[in-house]
Amino acid sequence: MSGGMAGRAEGRVGRRAGLTWAVHLSVLLLVVLWTLPTAGLFVTSLRDRDQIAVSGWWTALATSTQSLVFRAPAGEGEVEEAGRFVLRGTVLDGGAGRVTAFGTSSRAPAAFGPGETADLGDGVRLTVAADGGYELSGPQSFKAGRGQRIFHTAEVPPRFTLANYAGVLGAAGLGRSFLNSMTVAVPATVIPILVAAFAAYALAWMRFAGRGLLIAAVVGLLVVPLQMALIPLLSLYNGLGQAFGFDPKTYIGIWLAHTGFGLPLAIYLLRNYMAGLPREIIESARVDGANDFEIFTRIVLPLSFPALASFAIFQFLWTWNDLLVALVFLGAGDDRLVLTGRLVNLLGSRGGDWEILAASAFVSIAVPILVFFALQKYLVRGLLAGSVK
């Protein structure tokens, strides 16, 4: 009998160990799936635009084969040798690489191998070496022409550059838009936390009539779509602006809007956490003569920091990445345009430049990523609070 019990115990231990490995592998897979797009976006934002066009980011460290077109400068650097005019230069624009074929027409871009001489007619000859150096010679000066086009196929080593970020960060008005986004996101994160903390404490520890209905209303507001409430809220706010004579396109309006949209989740999250705090601590404080405000500020609020931090992550990410509410309550004016709106305008004018798209996207998510990693250790603790006893 003892042998059978030992066997069953060993079986349970083996199954538990297998389950643990399965959980670890699942978590690792989720982490990889979550970080892989961000890593790919970052790598793409640092690559040369020509390499982005011909290969994916996962080949960033490998040599790529590119079909390129170079136009020789018309007469620039021209010299006369033995009665012929000669132009010399490199088709690789000073970069590293190896030319494997070249041509003078788009219909035959690889008609000649490196080192061969192409006869262009009228005594004009073109030679392209494997290192990219070319020699164009002819009996007449090339200064009157438009410049000879040289089609070539090259094996180019990995190229990384910060020019993509320089183009994005150097865009007109981007710095102002960054400050606008910070002006919107920080108060729109702090205000809901302050209001929701008081409301959550009242719903968790204070007894009053209608408390259950208020909790049910908060839960019900979680499913209200923002798009459905946005227009009535805007109409109400504009009506107040006309009645009291103030400009509705102000930061106060968008702070109040984000506060209203964020309060249901904040109250629900904080209330669950505060309700799970040990009752003995609260009762001991009441016995010692502490009132509700003192209990809230000295005991409950410090103990609720994980929940506050977890909500701060969600609210900051939402307000930083928001564009719809910002356009509605602030407008599209150049002095109040947020970062997401500025990048949308930049993408509209540079939509074909993939390197600009990648750099713009990473600039917009850089601050939320820093906030997330700074507070992520509190995220799970805050979300799971109150789920188990």
Q: What is the pTM of this model?
A: 0.70
Among the candidates 157, 189, 205, a domain finishes at 157
- Looking at the structure, tell me whether residues 52 and 107 fall in a common domain: no
Query: What value, to the nearest 5°, has the Cα angle with vertex 107 and ends 104 and 110?
Result: 60
26 with 76, same domain: the answer is no
In this structure, the answer to whether residues 144 and 7 fall within a common structural domain is: no
Which structural domain, as residue segments, surrounds residue 112?
64-157
Same-domain check for residues 326 and 374: yes
The token duo for 23 is 């959980």
- Residue 253: CATH number of its domain: 1.10.3720.10
> Could you report the per-residue pLDDT of 98-143, keeping only the tens digit for each?
899 999 888 888 899 999 999 988 888 999 999 889 999 988 888 8
Pairing between β-strand 149-156 and β-strand 64-71 as defined by DSSP bridges:
antiparallel
Band the pLDDT of 350: cuts 50, 70, 90: low
DSSP string, 276-298: TS-HHHHHHHHHTT--HHHHIII
Residues 176 and 320 in one domain: yes
Is position 321 within any domain? yes
The tokens describing 54, both together, are 């011909």
What are the CA-CA distances from residue 230 to residues 237, 245, 323 (Å)? 10, 22, 13
What's residue 387's pLDDT?
A: 46
The angle, 0 to 180 degrees and rounded to 10, between the axes of the packed helices 305-321 and 174-205 is 140
User: pLDDT digit string (tens) for 241-260?
Assistant: 777 777 777 888 899 889 98
Q: Could you read off the pLDDT of 163-175 as tens digits, one per residue?
A: 888 878 777 678 8
- Contact (CB, 8 A) for 106 and 151: yes
Query: What confidence tens digit (pLDDT) does each residue in 300-339 have?
Result: 998 888 888 888 888 998 999 898 899 888 888 878 889 8
Mean pLDDT, residues 142-150 taken together: 81
Quickly list DSSP for 229-249: HHHHHHHHHHHHHHHHT--SS
Does a structural domain hold residue 389? no
Both 134 and 214 in one domain: the answer is no
Tokens describing residue 70: 């170079």
SS3 of residue 114 by DSSP: coil
Alpha-carbon distance of 335 to 333, in angstroms, equals 6
Tokens in use for 172?
A: 């007109």
What does the buried/exposed string (b/e) look like for 287-325 if buried means 16 or more CB atoms within 10 Å of the residue's CB? eeebebeebbeebbbeebebbbbbbbbbbbbbbbbbeeb
Does the structure show a pLDDT above 60 at 388? no
Structural domain total, the chain: 3
User: Pick from 100, 126, 157: which residue ends a domain?
Assistant: 157
